[in-house]
Amino acid sequence: MKAVIQRVARACVTVDGRVTGKIGRGFLVLLGVGEGDTRAEADRISKKLVNLRIFSDENGKINLSLKDVGGALLVVSQFTLYADCRHGNRPGFTAAAKPATAEALYEYFMEKCREEIPVVEHGVFGAHMDVELLNDGPFTVILE
């Protein structure tokens, strides 16, 4: 499982002209599920994510977590995080989990996040999505 986490001032995802998820301060999470991933990876990544201290405290020190600042999550499925570009110019995606498995783990990941974070918005699994964000920093972290 791979997660690209961007600290944002705001973010939203639109599918077919309809907003499916929108947050203010928090994290935009691009989540890729790999072949062989299990709930154990989702548990580990979600726990790390909600406790990741990348917000500034009153002294300007990067010391506060998403939970500490009352931030929200916008989780977007992103199988292309498993693109293999080593051979030729067309990426291969065989390392990504099959759609049924990936969707189940994507949904499970969001359930785990909701146990800690009250606002967890999302995109539409497998859909073409327009993702807008105002990156805060910018501050981007990758968890694997």
pLDDT digits (tens, 9 = 90+) for 1-42: 999 999 999 999 999 999 999 999 999 999 999 999 999 999
Q: Are 48 and 143 in contact (CB under 8 A)?
A: yes
- Which residue positions in the chain have pLDDT lower than 70? none
89/125 Cα distance (integer angstroms) = 26
Q: Are 58 and 12 in contact (CB under 8 A)?
A: no
- Provide the whole-model pTM: 0.95
SS3 label, residue 6: strand
Active site amino acids: 78-80
Specify the pLDDT at position 111: 98
SS3 label, residue 119: coil
Q: Are 34 and 80 in contact (CB under 8 A)?
A: no
- Looking at the chain, list the stretches that DSSP marks H as alpha helix, in order from N- to C-terminal side: 39-51, 66-69, 99-114
